[in-house]
Amino acid sequence: MCGIAGLWRLAGASDADPAASALRMAAAIAHRGPDGHDAWGDPAAGIGLGHRRLAIIDLSPTGAQPMHSVSGRYVITYNGEVYNFPELRRELQARGHTFRGTSDTEVMLAACEEWGPEAALQKFLGMFAFALFDRQERTLRLVRDRLGVKPLYWTITDGLLLFGSELRALMAHPRFKKTVDPEAIDAVVRLSYVPAPATVFRDVFKLPPGSILTIRPGQEPALTRYWNLVEVANRAPRPWKPAEAIEAIDALLRDCVARRLISDVPLGAFLSGGTDSSAVVALMQHVSNQQAKTYTIAIEDKTFDESAQARAVASHLGTDHTEVTLAPDAAVGLVDKIADWFDEPFADASQLPTFLVSQATRAHVTVALSGDGGDELFAGYPKYAILERIWRYAALLPRPARMAAAGLLTASPAALLRLSAAFVDPARGERIGEKARRIAAALAAEGIDDAAAAVATVGLDAPGLVNDATGSCGLARPADLGMGDIVSRMQVQDMLTYLPDDILTKVDRCSMAVSLEAREPLLDHRLIELVWSMPAPLRRGNGRSKYLLREVLARYVPRELTDRPKRGFSIPVGAWLSGPWRDWAEGLLEPQGLARFFDAARVRSLWQQHGRGQDHATALWNILMVQAWARQWL
């Protein structure tokens, strides 16, 4: 796991020392790679590749980057892990290739020489973002892994290509233009993040998951997909029997976990006590036959605390368990640092506990396995069942009737709360008003994709709140998605948007802020393809949340320890904004500062209403994250 950065002068005067420029860009992301740094450049070609190293496999100098292929044709700067490199190495050795060290990077380069970059890429199993320069054909390929675990940003400004693992690497170059896109700010207010391919800056992009950006001088950059989730989801399912499906998932999951235990440094795992992380930890111990180190966060507000469940699972499995508490007073000291972890406005409030558990984990190990991706793959989010239930009845009504009903509910907060109580755990009162408004918006939607988008709008969809924004930066809706059932469509949309742009962004930035590598066994693309080969009723257990994964987990952990409603990884944002965070928030919501991006009067009104007990926690948090980011980076 590392950080990458680079530049290429495609037109105009070349940089006299592109390697030095790439090294300066990489220095901005030193937290991603504290174990070493280097750069390579070709002044005649105007290209420079920079690298920051977090040594995980092959800790010797033979694993250092940027790295050249044996022939010298290819140069790579690479962030991530290719988990099947041992068998690829053996296959390449049988074809006559020799290796100096034991890194996966060297195997990737040999594979590119043997089969060509595109064919080699199809063989790679892992998480990665890399830049591969073909010196013979003067071609640069920027590549991101299939599910978007690892990030990659790029822009072309005045004939200069800049790229890097984080925006701050691009910002470190003096030619970078910080032109804020109001549409991206509006997206953060609505969604809590900026959806790909957009970023907070105009003409700066996130490389989409499963993509290759090919750049050649004198030609427009060409974006192609080498793996497409929509194609996977559209394939005709096989006639699986439940017992056969559970056995297949169990066997493949054991392999997914085992591959992610390859490391030359100590490993651990995040453990919340829920289905996903419990399954990963249970299989981790099973395949390694060693005591796992596990880490969890306790929240002082018991409504949000899951530490007891994590403790029970850890006790049953016999892990070496560490628990860290996030208290309101400690959170005050952390909240102002968020903008340093995220160089783009990002407002998923679970970023705080994610950072704390990463920090605690890094004190003992360098790699941590996580359970991310399980909710999207196995339909674990409550919103899936909520929207399915709503549309089962709403679809029987014409849209004008549904819109009228939604309007009446919105005008009657008490009725809206009663409706939401049928779908939302009343014990988790935090943000219940916001969830209720999302239910009403889904009821009024034109079709199932619009309803899904309404449920995904976790913040505030308020035209005119963000200056000069029209709401055009939204979620991707693949037009070629074949299945008709709403849950499957929502799963695909979440795996294309919310998963890479929110969940994986959060885990990547919070873990890499403390130089910790996070690995996600549930996002192995082979597992994705296996599960989507099963009929929808079987995948979703005929309404039983995460049925297939729960059945696998029951082989290792008693059901009574994990069979409980999903709680989510969150904190009491509303209460803390009214309490220990009030002064911090007030400082960021000063009218003159707000006016840069927002209708200050409307935001101040939301803040005052929140102080009087109305529920605007997520909307305010999203706005606060924009304000904190602007203070840090502009």
Rg (CA), the chain: 24
CA dihedral (40, 42, 43, 48) positive or negative: negative
Q: Of 310, 359, 331, 353, which Cα lies nearest the Cα of 561?
A: 310
Q: Is 596 exposed, middle or buried (0-12, 13-18, 19+ CB in 10 A)?
A: middle
Residue 99 CB contacts under 8 Å (≥ 6 apart), including other chains? 89, 93, 106, 107, 110
CA within 13 Å, CB half, 300: 9
Q: Of 549, 458, 448, which Cα lies nearest the Cα of 497?
A: 458
Residue 266 CB contacts under 8 Å (≥ 6 apart), including other chains? 293, 364, 365, 366, 367
**Dist CA 519 CA 159 (whole Å):** 36
Q: Is 67 helix (H, G, I), strand (E, B) or coil?
A: strand
Determine which one of 2, 256, 473, 510 is catalytic.
2
Q: Which amino acid is residue 426, in one-letter code? A: P
Residue 105 backbone zone (phi > 0: left; psi -120 to 50: alpha; other: beta):
alpha
Kindly state the greatest CA–CA separation across the chain.
74
CA dist list (Å): 376 to 312, 328, 471, 629: 25, 30, 26, 29
**Dist CA 151 CA 2 (whole Å):** 11
Residue 349 phi, psi (nearest 5):
-65, -15
Q: Of 450, 456, 415, which Cα lies nearest the Cα of 436?
A: 415
CA dist list (Å): 24 to 21, 28, 30, 154, 314: 5, 7, 10, 16, 44
Pairing of strands 2-9, 67-68: unpaired
Q: Is 153 helix (H, G, I), strand (E, B) or coil?
A: strand
Question: Could you tell me how many residues make up the chain?
Answer: 634
In the residue annotation, 510 being an active-site residue is answered as no
DSSP per residue, 325-338: EE-HHHHHHHHTTH
Please give the positions annotated as active site: 2
